[in-house]
Structure 1
């Protein structure tokens, strides 16, 4: 397995897609029920294959990620061959996880208490694996508005 198995909730929200996936392998509902009961390892493998397909599709379409903590923000732009990062550190008692703290940052991005660092690197290995790793470490897929806002301020 390249990534991780989807959660129960993710499988439930992708119920129709999973049914189509099974149908593409000539597995109907009755047969799937039998497989789950009598061959749980085969059922697990089918779920793993489907999970990898879903993750691969989602990760390939991912262009931006963001990760916030109380005093830092890491914003990523994921291109085909390289990833750009804007790291923001707040040097006073503010919580970016709260609406008030986030709004303060967006209104005061050039304040003396705000340090902004930028960097770009080529992917060390597989692009989608690196993006997946960032998601597993707490990053969220975003539309990139915050990245582009700070990118325009500092370039």
Structure 2
């Protein structure tokens, strides 16, 4: 499997798409029940392929992710060929970076106690694979607005020096 198997809840929500997928694989109505009983490995293999197809499409559409910890915040912008990262890390345990309010306060009042890293990494496989890897490392969905606010802040910081 390239990604992960969809959960029962996800498969249920995608039942019409799963039926279309099975029809494309020449498996109709009762044939699916029969296949599950007589050859469960093949049935699971088809679910695996369907899961990978669905997740590939979903992951490909994700452009922004973020990861939060008490002492660090990272936001990622993903394109077809690269991942850009902005990471803000606190040098002090007293400065937490879990919420947007805490991050904003730290940037405005405790900038000297922060380390800010920026980087770009070329995607070696596919965007979907990179998104999956980041999600596996506990990243969550983010937005253009979050990315843009930190990117703009860094531009202002660079221009003021």
TM-score, with length taken from structure 1: 0.87
Is this contact kept in 2: 1:60–1:128, CA < 8 A?
A: yes
Q: Residue by residue, what CA displacement relative to the aligned partner does 1:33-88 show, whole Å, maximum 9, x if unpaired?
A: 11111110111111011011111101211111111112211110001111100111
Is this contact kept in 2: 1:95–1:102, CA < 8 A?
A: no
Q: Aligned-pair distance for 1:108?
A: 4.1
Is this contact kept in 2: 1:76–1:147, CA < 8 A?
A: yes
Q: Aligned-pair distance for 1:94?
A: 4.4
Map of 1:103 onto structure 2: 101
Structure 2, gaps ≥5 residues long: 156-161
Larger Rg: 2
1:104-123 mapped onto 2 (5 Å cutoff)? 104-110=102-108, 111-112=110-111, 113-123=113-123
Structure 1, gaps ≥5 residues long: none
Q: Aligned-pair distance for 1:95?
A: 4.3
Is this contact kept in 1: 2:95–2:106, CA < 8 A?
A: no
Q: Aligned-pair distance for 1:15?
A: 2.0
- Cα distance 1:32–1:95, how it changes in 2: closer, same or farther (>3 A)? farther
- Cα distance 1:14–1:148, how it changes in 2: closer, same or farther (>3 A)? same
- Asked if residue 153 in structure 1 is aligned to residue 143 in structure 2, the reply is no
Is this contact kept in 1: 2:72–2:89, CA < 8 A?
A: yes
After the TM superposition, list the runs of 4 or more consecutive aligned residues in structure 1 that deviate by more than 6 angstroms: none
Q: Residue by residue, what CA displacement relative to the aligned partner does 1:78-116 show, whole Å, maximum 9, x if unpaired?
A: 01111100111123334444xxx4312134424323322
Distance in 2 between residues matched to 1:121 and 1:151, nearest whole Å: 16
TM-score, with length taken from structure 2: 0.84
| Equivalenced residues, count | 152
Q: Aligned-pair distance for 1:22?
A: 1.4
Distance in 2 between residues matched to 1:16 and 1:96, nearest whole Å: 42
RMSD (CA atoms): 1.8
